[in-house]
Structures are given as C-alpha cells and as structure tokens.
Amino acid sequence: MNITIHPQLRDYIDPLTQHEYLALERSLLKEGCRDALVLWQETLIDGHNRYAICQKHGIPFQTTHNDQFNSIEDVMLWMIDNHLARRSVSSFQRGVLALRKKDIINTRRKDQSSQEKAQEAELALKNPDPVPVETREEIAKVAGLSKPAVAQIEKIRKAATPELVEAVRAGTISINTAATIAALPSEQQVAAVAGGKKELQETARQLRQTRNPRAAKTVESDDTEVSNTNASTEVSTAPAPFNQQNENKEMQAELLALRAENQHLKARITELTAQLAST
C-alpha cells in the first residue's frame, strides 16, 4: 500500500507533547493499532503519529478512505472538526482550531465571485453548517470556550513568541496569563518563559497591577487552564518581589511609553483619514 505524507497536513494540527507521544507509543505496543488510519486518495489525513509509530515498530494497521474532498482546504476543515470532537484536546488548542476554521472560510469567501456566494448561501439554507464560525460568539461555541477566552487566544496567536505559545499549549500557564504576557516585547516574553511558571505568573501579575490594581486581584484568583485530560487551576502563590524594584519601574515606564506611542498612532490615523476625506 502506498501512503503519501503531505507535510502541510502532517503539521497542520499541533504535534503531541513528548508525554502524549510516549503514552500513545506504549498503547500501540500493548494493544496494537485499533483505529484505522484515514486516507484521502493516497494521502494520510488522520493518524500521522500512529502511522509513524507503527512503521517504527512494525505494528500492523488498517486504513479507510474518505474521498469526499475537493481540495486541501476541505481536508483541513475536516481535520479541524475531527479534532474538535475529541475530549482530550485542551482549551487553548480548541480555540486555535476554531480560529483556523474561521480563517479558511473567510479566505474562501474573499476569493468567491458573486455567483458563487449566492450559490453557497442557497446551499447553506438547505444544509446549514452545524458549527458556523462567523462571529466570535460562534467561534466560542465551537471551541467550547467563553468569548473573552477566544479574544485572548486571538491575542496570543498574533503577538506571542513561539516560546510563550508552547508554554500555554503545554499547560504550563493559563490562556489568561499568556494573553497578558503577549503584550510585552518579544525578548521580555522569552525571558519570562525561561524563568519558569512562577516567573510567568509574577510577570503577568505585575502587568495587571500596572493596568488595573483592583482587577489584578480578581484575575489572579480566576486564572485557570484546562489540561488535555482534566481541569487544573493555577493557584497564585505569594511570590517574591519581581527581581529588583528598578526592573519593575523600568517595566512600568516601558508600558507607559507603549501607551503613549499607541495614542500617537491613533491621532496620526485620524489626521490622515481627515486628509483623505478632504481630497
């Protein structure tokens, strides 16, 4: 049997953690490959980790075909819905998958002609999408999250460094903490991740305290994350001072400078908009 590995599809879903991969390997060695690998024509679309482990250890496996797709985007949408249906997927991963689905659908609609959009609308009336992702509310519903959580995941996707993304994906910190730290410059994000969980939590606490002293305490008490298999709460312990007081002052000064720059940019945009309107 000829099985083709498409790199884009193989890497489309976040890889397993080392712990998850080893657990899957032990299960396959003990019980064999019980679930069939799914192919689109000759391309593997579900079961990349199982296939690699089976090849490594010579474990027999079965395959099944799903040839209903017309494009790689169709396959990606199927992969997203397939993973969203799994209970082992973390809250962060669910949010990322729902946002990826939105990206694909929005890109497709931008490329559609008026006639194609009309045909799609007619088809949608007959066969509505069970999991639409038109709005943030719908994205939240698909992912099983709150709208604020979806907004935080969007922020992480746009501004977080790979190191910070990996920390929240692995469950080291919560979505809330990661979204807070994502507001920092890249080098400061990397430094916070290198300091470990307590450093990340303390950095986030300092940032919240700078923005809103009262809200910071409430956020700390509710700062939770759902792991792959069970819910676990990040408890904010009484941390040591944020290294040195001068570092804290530098951080606050940098935040104020960033806010000032943001206000300047908004004013400049308003000015340019007025100029364009007058021409």
pTM (2 d.p.): 0.61
List the chain domain ranges.
1-68, 160-243, 248-279
pLDDT in tens, 41-100: 999 999 999 999 999 999 999 999 998 999 999 999 999 998 888 877 888 988 999 899
Rg (CA), the chain: 23
pLDDT in tens, 10-40: 988 888 888 889 999 999 999 999 999 999 9
Question: Which residues, at least 6 apart from 69, have a Cβ–Cβ distance to it below 8 Å?
Answer: 40, 75, 78
Kindly state the DSSP code that residue 23 receives in the 8-state scheme. Answer: H
Tokens linked to 1:
């049997």
List residues bridging with 226 in a β-sheet: 231
Which of 210 and 53 is assigned the larger pLDDT? 53
What is the CB neighbour count within 10 angstroms for residue 213? 9
